[in-house]
Amino acid sequence: MSDENPYALAERAAKSLLEQCGVSKIDAAIVLGSGWREGAVALGTPEAVVKTSSLPGFVAPTVPGHDGSILLVRVGEKNLALVSGRVHLYEGNSAHAVVHPVRTVLCAGASSVVLTNAAGGLDSLLGPGSIVMLRDHVNLTATSPLEGAVPPENYGPRFVDLSNLYDDSLRESVKRVVPTISEGVYAGVRGPHYETPAEIKMLRTMGASLVGMSTVLEAIAARHMGANVLGLSLVTNFAAGVTDEPLDHQEVLAAGKAAQRSLGALLQRVAPLL
């Protein structure tokens, strides 16, 4: 990512995204975490596919299953951007680089954003394949996308209120269309190592029910820009120490593939709410 002011960079990227998509505005966005890309196919054939390498400020993802592109799909009257190409702190990126895709789609007009991810489950009742809606998070990355440059005046305040980070009314709407959906608190860690059983015990004591290496910074950046945020986790494995099974990234990817249909069905119900 360049030294340019991160907000100005996102505005430039948004302009290029809209030009390449051939639309004047994005209405909502879904950031696709591990496994969710396959599910998002259910949202229909994209009207445009923009490689993130063609947009200012985007760094290339290094994680298999995270190729860098933004897909434009129409849902009803709305332009929905599907962001595939999340980058993480553990790839050596700054917090600003991690949230740049989210800032870009919000600068392009999106007023709500769904952050999806793969997560380890801390609750023995929420095993692999469970889908959990985030009620809140604990940011354990020791950083913030609001560190550094003072946000320009037309953005939210640097000391942004996160008391309704995962928007209550959006969660209520999701519960109306998917009454059985579970809710939980996501602990966001830096990784890339998985946690120790002692760390998982600590996270559970803190009130977390999920653990993962993404989402929290993007949620903060999106709220800061006034967006309604929804978080959805696919539990891909029991977190360390919950069972005797060893943890393995291939297992995370395989659980995503196995859940493709249920993720697709959920996204089809959630997309019209955005």
Active site residues: 34, 66, 88, 90-91, 118, 213-214, 237, 249
Report the alpha-carbon distance of residue 112 to residue 117 in Å, rounded. 17
89 binds ligand HPA (CB under 6 A): no
Min dist CB 204 to ligand HPA, Å, is: 13
- Piece of 95-103, 136-144, 211-219, 263-271 that binds ligand HPA (CB under 6 A): 211-219
Decide: 122 and 28 in contact? Cβ < 8 Å: no
- Piece of 99-107, 159-167, 189-197, 216-224 that binds ligand HPA (CB under 6 A): 189-197
80 binds ligand HPA (CB under 6 A): no
Residues 118-137 as x/- pattern, contact with ligand HPA by CB under 6 A? xxx-----------------
CA distances from 158 to 152, 154, 218, 229, 254 (A): 10, 12, 15, 18, 39
In the DSSP assignment, the letter for residue 203 is H
139 binds ligand HPA (CB under 6 A): no
Task: Give the other-Cβ count within 10 Å of 139's Cβ.
Answer: 18
Residues 6+ apart with CB under 8 A from 94: 1
Residues 6+ apart with CB under 8 A from 247: 120, 194, 237, 240
Min dist CB 238 to ligand HPA, Å, is: 8
Per CB under 6 A, residues contacting ligand HPA are 118-120, 191, 194-195, 211-213, 236-237, 239, 247, 252
